[in-house]
Structure formats: C-alpha cells, structure tokens
Structure 1
C-alpha cells in the first residue's frame, strides 16, 4: 500500500495546500485546481524540470528526486488522484477543516481550525510539501482558468521521455 492510498495522508496534504493557496486565492479554489496543485506539489519537479531552474535546486535539497518518479504513468497517476479529491474534500468538510463557498461556482478554503491544523504539521515531508506547494501556487495560482486549462491540455497530450516530461515552463 502506497502512502498516497492513505486518506489521512492525502487529507493532511490538502490541508497544507489550501493553507498555501489562501495567500493567493483567499476566496478559495475549485476541486480541479485543488487536484492539479496537489498533484504538482507532490511531484514538483514536473514544473521545475530545467537544471538551471532555481526552484529545482531547492526542491532537490528538500528531498524531491525526479529519478523516483515514473514518468510513463504521470497522467494516469494524476487522473487517479483527481478522482479521489471529492472524497478527500468531503472528509475535510465533515471534520470542519474546510468550508465550501458557492458563488456561481463551488470553491474550497480552510476554516480557522483547518488553518491551525495545517500550521501544526512539522514533519520533514510536510515542510517539503509546503515548499513545493508554494512553488506551484506561485507559478500557477494566479493563472486564469482558461490558461490553466491550456496548460493541462498541453501536459495531458505531451509525450513523456525518460526522465523528462514535456510540461510547459510557466512563469516563476
């Protein structure tokens, strides 16, 4: 059983992610953004793939290693993760860590309790995941939905090569 199969682990990651996202999108984010940001925060070298990328060095020092990724199954792993997001968010809502905002669309954001919980995580993985989430949100957080959809479309149709993924470089 992979750690990603553990709902508590996934819920903790989403709590950390939503705490980071709140700085850029305090109104909350929809489930599609949550899924994308979460997946990329867990696999940040998909965005910081160039050796000259300063984020790449920081991420490698934090423990992320592109050799540990199976690039032949990146899309499949993303889709699997995306399918779990509604249940994971529902769990967080049930326990009062996340609230839903409906204003023409459904968005999720941390409650004060969720924020407190997110800031209490101190493990090395939590620190590394938070650092990766900051990088992902800084690069993609302000991107409009249409631009994010285009990036996703390019990513989903990209051809993977050994130790590389044709993921477009997005800002910094």
Structure 2
C-alpha cells in the first residue's frame, strides 16, 4: 500500500483521491473563477470558462519561466510538476466534459447567472455566489485566484474563434489527437 491519500468512492470501491474528481472542489473553483471574472470585467462564455478553468488550474502550460508572472505563481503555491500522469490534452477534455454539468449546478444553486452578451451566452456570479466565494479563504483559494488573474490576462486577448488554436499550442499536443478528442 502506498502513502497516497485514498477515498472511498460512491460505489464503495477504494480509489486515489484527486480533488478535481470531487464535484464540490470543481464548483468552488468555478465560483472563484466567476468572482475573478466579475472583478476583471469579464463575461466569459462556456468555452472561455472551460479554457480559463483548465489553464488556471494548470498555469505552467501557459506561463513560462521567462514570464514575469512565473514567480508570482510559484509564490502562490503552484508547482511546475504535474500531479497526474494523464497528458494535458486528456486532462483538458475530461475537465471540459464536466463543465456544463458544473455550470448547471452553480445556476441551480443560485450561485451563477447565465445571460447573453452580443448574441453569446455568458456567465456571471450572482450575489449569493459572491457571498459564497468571499468565504473561500484557504491558501489554495488565494493561489487559484492569482492563477485565474494571470491566465485571464492571456486569454482575454484571444478572440473566441482563436481559442482552439491557442489551446493546441498551450497543451503542446498533437493536433490529430486533439481533433479526435474534439478540441
């Protein structure tokens, strides 16, 4: 037996604990992301939210050691070493596949609001969501906010039509593999 954390799955089977597999963790991250988006005057679409969500959790796919923000992310607690064996492209697709459900839950709980802007559906944090996000004060929450701010500066400059191209570059993945995964 290894020293890794284990948790008991819903079906009762043992499995390794990965925070991103926990619904509450993903919802909290999205809530923090929407909080930072509001403070940055961003109204993200679901596609942009998916990109921000993944790359904020994995900022060193975007931020390089030569970038000014690199040190800020290290100080915020992010590691350049991935904590999973899965390739970034696979992790991106998995996380993206959960996004619609997670957004629907935030809306159902009254923590997020879908609206339209320039003919596109966008998402905002609600007042209740803002109150809940303000209570998330762990070191990780503070670091994640920092990461969202750093990544949002990069993603903000990219038009929606160019997001898939930038994702391919940032994921450093074989385009054929990403096409198979519908990225």
Normalised-by-shorter TM-score class: 0.7 to 0.9
Where does structure 2 lack aligned partners over 5 or more consecutive residues? 1-16, 175-183
Larger deviation: 147-156 or 51-60? 147-156
The answer for the alignment partner of 1:137 in structure 2 is 152
- Larger RCO (alpha carbons 8 Å, 6+ apart): 1
Instruction: State TM-score, norm by structure 2.
Output: 0.78
Larger deviation: 100-109 or 28-37? 100-109
**1:36 Cα deviation (Å)?**
0.8
Q: Give the SS at the match of 2:144.
A: helix
The answer for the alignment partner of 1:78 in structure 2 is 92
Contact preservation (8 Å) 1:21, 1:141 = no
Where does structure 1 lack aligned partners over 5 or more consecutive residues? 160-172
Contact preservation (8 Å) 1:20, 1:133 = yes
Q: Distance in 1 between matches of 2:158 and 2:127?
A: 26
Instruction: State TM-score, norm by structure 1.
Output: 0.83
Matches for 1:86-97 after TM superposition, within 5 Å: 86-97=100-111
**Does residue 2 of structure 1 match 2:8?**
no
Q: Deviations over 1:54-77 (max 9, x none)?
A: 211111111111123457610000
**Does residue 158 of structure 1 match 2:173?**
yes
Task: Say which one has the larger Rg.
Answer: 2
RMSD: 1.9
Contact preservation (8 Å) 1:25, 1:141 = no
